[in-house]
Amino acid sequence: MERNLRKERIGVVVSDKMEKSVVVQIDSKIKHPVYGKFIKKSTRFVAHDEKNDSHTGDTVRIMETRPLSKQKRWRIVEIIERAK
């Protein structure tokens, strides 16, 4: 049985105040359909962090997963860069 490919995103941890959960913010630039100006857009995901080892400012890769709670549908795959 083969699983479908799961979405992966790279973002920055903006909150780590919960147990085994973090809030990851992903910033993107989108071009306005009429005026052509680039607009900054940010999306926030609540991600599962089993070992509680990511902290605010870390750059992480998250992967889509089954619903783990009311808001958690993502989990941390790896910590790409630690906050300085």
Give a yes or no: residue 61 inside a domain. Answer: yes
CATH number of domain containing 57: 2.40.50.140
Residue 59: pLDDT band (50, 70, 90) is very high
pLDDT score of 2: 77
Neighbours of 11 (CB within 10 A): 24
Distance of alpha carbon 81 from alpha carbon 11, whole angstroms: 10
Among 58, 74, 55, residue whose Cα is nearest residue 66: 74
Give a yes or no: residue 12 inside a domain. Answer: yes
Task: Assess whether pLDDT exceeds 90 at residue 9.
Answer: yes
Tell me how many domains the chain contains. Answer: 1
Which tens digits make up the pLDDT trace of 35-58? 999 999 999 999 999 999 999 999
Domain boundaries, position 52: 8-81
Global pTM exceeds 0.95: no
The separation between CA 26 and the C-alpha centre of its own chain, rounded to angstroms, equals 6
Give a yes or no: residue 1 inside a domain. Answer: no
pLDDT score of 4: 80
Which tens digits make up the pLDDT trace of 14-25? 999 999 999 999
The radius of gyration computed from the CA coordinates of the chain, to the nearest angstrom, equals 14
